[in-house]
Amino acid sequence: MKDFKEICKYTGAIIAWVVGGGFATGQEVLRFYSAYGWESYIIIAIDLVLFTLIVRSLLVCGFEHKDDQDFHPYKFYCGTKLSKFYYLMVNLGLILHIGMLISAGGTTLNEYYEFNRFLGSVAFAVGLLIVYLSGFNNMVSIISKLGPLVILFVVLVGFYCTTRDLGNFQHLEKSIEALSDKIIGYNWLYSAILYASSNFVASAFYFTALGKHCSSRKVVNISAVLGCGILMLTICMVSSAILLNGEAIAAYDVPNVFLATSISPFLSSFVTVLLCLAMFGSSCADVWSFSSQFFKENKRKNQIFATCVLTGCLCFGMLPFSTVLGIIGPVNGIGGFIFMCLVIYKGFSL
């Protein structure tokens, strides 16, 4: 029973890292998967393998170095020289990503509920600080519940829409044509690799920390397989639902809102709430990944540092959301493929 609860906790924490704003809206699923039509199922199969290998490698790495207080995951995977580049790139990416999510949170509250954007962003940042100050274990306990909640809702919507619209498979070519301009990469293989590498390039501190808190390799292995399996099953469901409604969804920025509204207009409000929860959970992991690296021996200084970081991110997040997104996009994509390869390669020796 103890192992079962621990596995559920860390499975939820794995899911929470990936389930951010882009995932919850359905935009990532549409662009990286659905837009490729039938080939989307090949992409899902490839990413299931890549996600599982990456997450397991990082968790096992943390588990094996749980007693090493000076352990640096990027130095372990990339070597001394290359790790300096990743250290700077990842931390810059984390700061920008936190600012982007704070901006997105305030914008979402403003657009859907007409709540003041500045006050919404401030509330978002204060919430992040409270969760960080509560400690790592409490943070994991909180966000490990947010991820599965989002996943459950998205799976149910995707499953219902897929089974309801199975007859649309005979018109799939029209849907594929309607979604063709949404493609994010050069081809389906590029899309599979890009999605996996961009999701995990900044994840090393977070996942190795999770691994350090696992009680056994059994918990590590099962959590990795379950977490990645549930994620890919969810993507498969949502991608199928988007494909079956491609002509209509092509005109929407938030595919999951369209799918939920097609079931009941009332459900669209739930999508907005879940979108905010997904962004909040992802932001919590980012804040910890960045702030926990500094003043480890002095809790008071670390808390003050985290407060200053979130204040700076809040100021950055006051920029228009489209501007923030344009800044973070290029930074987040650099070096992801190389790091992914190194993590998988080292994982075979752990």
Largest pairwise CA distance in the chain: 63
Smallest CA-to-CA distance from 204 within 77, 99, 302, 96 is with: 77
User: Are 12 and 144 contacting, i.e. CB atoms less than 8 angstroms apart?
Assistant: yes
Residue 203 CA to residue 17 CA, distance in Å, equals 8
DSSP 201-248: TT-HHHHHHHHHH-S-HHHHHHHHHHHHHHHHHHHHHHHHHHHHTHHH
One-letter identity of residue 58: L
The pLDDT of residue 330 is above 50: no
pLDDT digits (tens, 9 = 90+) for 164-176: 988 887 777 888 8
Q: What is the mean pLDDT of the chain?
A: 83
Smallest CA-to-CA distance from 232 within 142, 151, 341, 150 is with: 151
One-letter identity of residue 104: A
| pLDDT band at 183; cut points 50, 70, 90 | confident
Distances (CA, A) of 231 to 48, 100, 150, 302, 317: 8, 23, 11, 33, 28
Provide the pLDDT for residue 99: 82
- Looking at the chain, list the stretches that DSSP marks H as alpha helix, in order from N- to C-terminal side: 2-18, 21-25, 27-32, 40-64, 73-113, 117-133, 136-164, 172-179, 188-200, 204-213, 217-244, 246-249, 255-263, 267-291, 299-317, 321-333, 336-347
What 3-state class would DSSP assign to 1? coil
Provide the pLDDT for residue 226: 94
Residue 213 CA to residue 58 CA, distance in Å, equals 13
| pLDDT band at 182; cut points 50, 70, 90 | confident
- The b/e string for 29-39 (b: 16+ C-beta within 10 A; e otherwise) is bbbbbbbbbeb
User: Are 183 and 35 contacting, i.e. CB atoms less than 8 angstroms apart?
Assistant: yes
| pLDDT band at 264; cut points 50, 70, 90 | confident
pLDDT digits (tens, 9 = 90+) for 3-36: 888 898 889 888 877 776 567 677 788 888 998 9
Instruction: Enter the tokens of residue 183.
Output: 């493609």
Radius of gyration, CA atoms only, the chain: 20
What domains can be seen in the chain, in order of their start residue?
A: 2-347 (1.20.1740.10)
pLDDT digits (tens, 9 = 90+) for 70-125: 888 888 998 888 888 888 877 877 887 788 778 777 777 776 677 787 888 888 88
Smallest CA-to-CA distance from 10 within 132, 148, 122 is with: 148
pLDDT digits (tens, 9 = 90+) for 232-242: 998 999 999 99
pLDDT digits (tens, 9 = 90+) for 195-238: 888 888 778 888 998 999 899 999 999 999 999 999 999 899 99
Angle at 105 between CA 139 and CA 184, to 5 degrees: 100
User: Are 71 and 64 contacting, i.e. CB atoms less than 8 angstroms apart?
Assistant: no
pLDDT digits (tens, 9 = 90+) for 288-297: 888 888 887 8
